[in-house]
């Protein structure tokens, strides 16, 4: 089995920037597409785990807390499917925005490493 070369810090930095731009474009062009948001979030998490293992990404429920409704409350009414879809899309958008912040932090850290290595 061949061993792959480790990409340079500049290449990782360029990939992080592209990943962030792709996510921002996705949210701007398809703000309610929760499946596309989830795929991008998964892509971002996999990339960060693979190329920057020192960056900690908290689980989604810690990044965007979700309050469970009181299902046993007699006054509880199930939300309309459209309202539920909007709520899921908003939650996905919030989670993607949290990942933007994580990626931006990783970019800054990597830029600092690149600058210190050059000097």
Instruction: Find the largest Cα–Cα distance for the chain.
Output: 67
Residue 34 is assigned to a structural domain of this protein: yes
Residue 20 is assigned to a structural domain of this protein: yes
Residue 52 is assigned to a structural domain of this protein: yes
- Please write the tens of the pLDDT for every residue from 49-102: 999 999 988 888 888 888 888 888 899 899 999 998 898 889 889 999 999 999
Residue 57 is assigned to a structural domain of this protein: yes
Residue 44: domain span: 9-66+79-114
**Domain count across the chain:** 1
Which pTM value belongs to this model? 0.81
Residue 2 is assigned to a structural domain of this protein: no
Residue 41 is assigned to a structural domain of this protein: yes
Q: Is residue 101 packed enough to be buried (19+ CB in 10 Å), middle (13-18) or exposed (0-12)?
A: exposed
Residue 94 is assigned to a structural domain of this protein: yes
Query: What local confidence, expressed as pLDDT, does residue 21 receive?
Result: 95
Angle at 107 between CA 105 and CA 108, to 5 degrees: 65
Residue 73 is assigned to a structural domain of this protein: no
Query: What local confidence, expressed as pLDDT, does residue 12 receive?
Result: 93
pLDDT at 3 over 80: no
Query: What local confidence, expressed as pLDDT, does residue 26 receive?
Result: 93
């Amino acid at each position: 089995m061949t061993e792959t070369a480790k990409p340079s810090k500049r290449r990782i930095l360029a990939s992080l920037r592209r990943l962030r731009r792709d996510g921002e474009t996705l949210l701007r062009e398809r703000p309610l597409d929760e499946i596309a948001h989830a795929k991008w979030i998964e892509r971002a998490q996999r990339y960060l785990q693979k190329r920057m293992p020192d960056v900690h990404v908290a689980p989604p429920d810690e990044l965007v807390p979700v309050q469970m409704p009181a299902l046993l409350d007699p006054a509880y009414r199930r939300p309309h499917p459209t309202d539920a879809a909007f709520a899921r899309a908003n939650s996905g958008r919030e989670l993607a925005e949290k990942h933007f912040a994580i990626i931006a932090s990783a970019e800054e850290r990597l830029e600092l490493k690149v600058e210190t290595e050059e000097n």
